[in-house]
Structures are given as C-alpha cells and as structure tokens.
C-alpha cells in the first residue's frame, strides 16, 4: 500500500490518495482509496472517502508517489528518486560569482 500519493487531475485541485500498488506501464486507470483534499477533507463530490475510486488516465495529469514508497519498489522495478544536493556538495565557482557581481 502506498500512502499519501498526490493525484493531479485535469482542471481539479490535487487529491491525496492511497494506492494499493504502483501503476504499471500498461495500466489504463488509477485505482485508489482514502480520497481526500490537501486540507484533509473529502471532496464535495465524494460520499464516502474510504471507498475505492477508479480514474481513467485520460483524466490524470500526473501522479506524485512519495520518495519513501519509491525507495521500497519491488525487486523487479528500479526506483528513480531525485534529490537536491547537500550544501556541502555544492561547489561555488568564484569566477562566476565575480561576473555576477560586476553586472
């Protein structure tokens, strides 16, 4: 179970959902449960948020899966997680900074 994924639908506010599994490449829809707005409340068009919902991929802009869930990918899949470099890893180019100050 992938908890707190963010589902972005076309022309709608983002929804926080729980996914039973990661969507596969051949899927035509997104199946989710525990549907709620980012405020924690169910959307006005939902009677019971704990029901199962099926959204066709034609209505989905994109789906954000938390990095914790991406790290726990099954062995057959590879998880790609982008992370920002630590400040210690950033190397400042003094010549670039000088040119910026001069402009």
CATH class, range 1-103:
mainly beta
What's residue 55's pLDDT? 95
The pair of three-digit structure tokens given for residue 40, joined into one six-digit string: 């924690």
Could you tell me the strand order of the sheet in which 29-37 lies?
52-56, 29-37, 15-19, 2-9, 60-64
pLDDT digits (tens, 9 = 90+) for 34-79: 999 999 898 998 888 678 999 999 999 999 998 886 656 554 454 4
The pair of three-digit structure tokens given for residue 1, joined into one six-digit string: 């179970």
Nearby residues of 67 by Cβ (< 8 Å), 6 or more positions away: 81, 83
Contact between 23 and 77 (Cβ < 8 Å): no
* Residue that has been written with the tokens 């022309």 in this structure: 11
pTM for this prediction: 0.65
């Amino acid at each position: 179970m992938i908890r707190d994924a963010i589902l972005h639908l076309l022309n709608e506010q983002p929804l926080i959902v729980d996914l039973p599994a990661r969507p596969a490449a051949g899927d035509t829809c997104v199946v989710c449960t525990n549907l709620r707005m980012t405020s924690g409340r169910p959307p006005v068009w939902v009677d019971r948020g704990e029901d199962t919902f099926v959204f066709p991929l034609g209505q989905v802009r994109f789906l954000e899966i938390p990095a914790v869930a991406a790290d726990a990918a099954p062995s057959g899949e590879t998880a790609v997680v982008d992370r920002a470099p630590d400040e210690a890893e950033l190397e400042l180019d003094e010549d670039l900074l000088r040119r910026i100050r001069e402009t």
